[in-house]
Structure 1
Amino acid sequence: MLRTRAVAALAVVVGVLLATLPPAATAADYPDPQTVTGDTAIHDPTMIRLKDGSYVAYSTHGRLEARVSKDRTHWERAAVDAFATPPAWWYAYNDTADPWAPEITYRAGTYWLYYSLSSWGSNHSAIGVATSASGRPGTWTDRGKVFASETGDAWNAIDPYVVEDGDQLWMAFGSYWSGIRMIRLDPRTGKAHTADTAVRHLATRPDLPYAVEAPAIVKHGAYWYLFNSYDACCSGLSATYKIKVGRATSLTGPYTDSGGTPMLRGGGDLLLAGHGRYIGPGGQSLMRDRGAHVLVHHYYDGEDDGAPKLGLNELRWGEDGWPSVV
């Protein structure tokens, strides 16, 4: 009898606790990405609108796979990747010279393409850079290594994101290890600054394996906003990737979420998570297009055996200054 009463009392307590928890996310909690057609099988995308109004997207694998579009809706695989052949130095970081997670920018009349080289589970990694006058596939000239990490370092030099602050140029990067880091770049070369060699710390989480990666940063109003991917990428239907955001008054931080928790202590407001067929969104970049900030990411398609697909969501800025996806 006592055991029965104890079980009944425990059930009541559990019921009360469950009733106070927020409901599990449903498809209605997050908007679907923009409808896209054509060749949209893509991973870790970066995108830019070119001078003629057309779009190009580069992504992980190949020699940085390339896709082109006239309207940001219908996409076709380009006849060539970013590179026709891999630079010889790539082979020092993986034996297939397979680059990951590119990031394209336009600065000083030149397109700049940053990219990662590594092997799974290692921080023997490097970030490289190439330049092009047009930004089109097959036109890139490699400029070599920007920054590297080795097995004794507390960071991982992959997933670059480059951002300007006045006349200064910065690169955020990072994956697992101690999370998201930032270094200053030389605007002339686009590579690590030789006079300012500090490796700054922007975000991490308190639990191993510090699953934070793929930073992207944008300024809106008085704040800089840092978007990161959290949890498990690259596992199709089992992916738990999601995107969180925090902000700071300085590009180099400290970043906090809307509740004041520092991103260096695991903070971050959940911006986009899996819902319906759209599993594990992340690997994001940001693009400014026609007055709007566009979140460029991949997800795993629950209706196509977990294949990675292109996701595009515009950001809407609330009266409180925080973004949401639409």
Structure 2
Amino acid sequence: MAQTTVAVEFKQVVKRFGPVVVLHPLDLRIGKGELVTLLGPSGCGKTTLLRLIAGLELPSEGTIRIDGRDVTGMSANQRDVSLVFQSYALFPHMTVLDNVCYGLTASGVKKPQAVEMARAKMELLGIADLGDRLSSQLSGGQQQRVAVARSLVLEPAVLMFDEPLSNLDAKLRRKVRQDIRDLQQSLNLTVVYVTHDQEEALAVSDRIVVMEKGRIAAMGAPHELYEAPATRFIADFIGDANLINGDLVQVGGQHFFRAAGVDVPVLPPKGMAEGPVALAIRPHRIRLGEVEGSVLPGQVLRQAYLGSRMESLVATPLGELLVFSDALQPVAGPGQQVGVHFAPADARVTSR
């Protein structure tokens, strides 16, 4: 069989549960050595897509290939994939070493060889000294590493994570997500990662696939989706954004966003005609200052000090805008007038 650079390929894959279509005709290619995150709200189809790759569900229509091999009708144990579950699914009565060895011995690998392979992966993940501990005696972060080691020792073509950090506290989530990313890059692993956490997706991904109602709404590199969202849904779902409905108009060769009788200068959006649009402005792209020369006049409604930044809610003719500022001494307090400043490049016009 010829070598392929594509690890996972979906061609017109559909999934139905009875009369309900949960995945509409879907095409997707994931390259070898790529970390792709499936991101979206609950019920969007991301977990169903992951289960289709894993063989825990079979498609109603279409073709699935892994490493160039048609696996459409194959069961989970016939596919060269491994899944780290949200619950970790460790055996509490087994030691860490036995948990990591389990998949190997179950597939017929002799115990001495399985132990050698397991210890190598445990060393890689920094849990070599935990081999004799019961998994029930471990912290959440340690259990997560054991679950990764158990999957990694099988050397799968595709390693999958289903909401792997949801059981960890905020500080540990940041550390473990970076550990996963470092491991993926150092071993050139193909990883499919499911999360509903936008920050997590931005932090670990080569590409993000944003799903909405059983369809792919957008896909691209994290910075592309964040900085240049194509639709209101993408702007709203990835990161914080001020979203305003209005119209795109052109006056004297200049493009403006018009709403509530106010014209805001914007860069001409590619392939978008005049008419109803949405405007997306990231809170950290807005600066508060003098009213004179500002894009919009505003009045500060309330403020919150968050240590690393100040958050302000400002009333403007376009509605209330959320503003993030690194300047912890605000230029105006609640009830005071203020100018709202942002560049045309920072006011992204999207479809509604």
Determine if the TM-score, normalized by the shorter chain, exceeds 0.5: no
**Bigger radius of gyration:** 2
Name the structure with the higher strand share. 1
Structure 1 length-normalised TM: 0.24
The structure showing larger relative contact order (alpha-carbon pairs under 8 Å, at least 6 residues apart) is 2
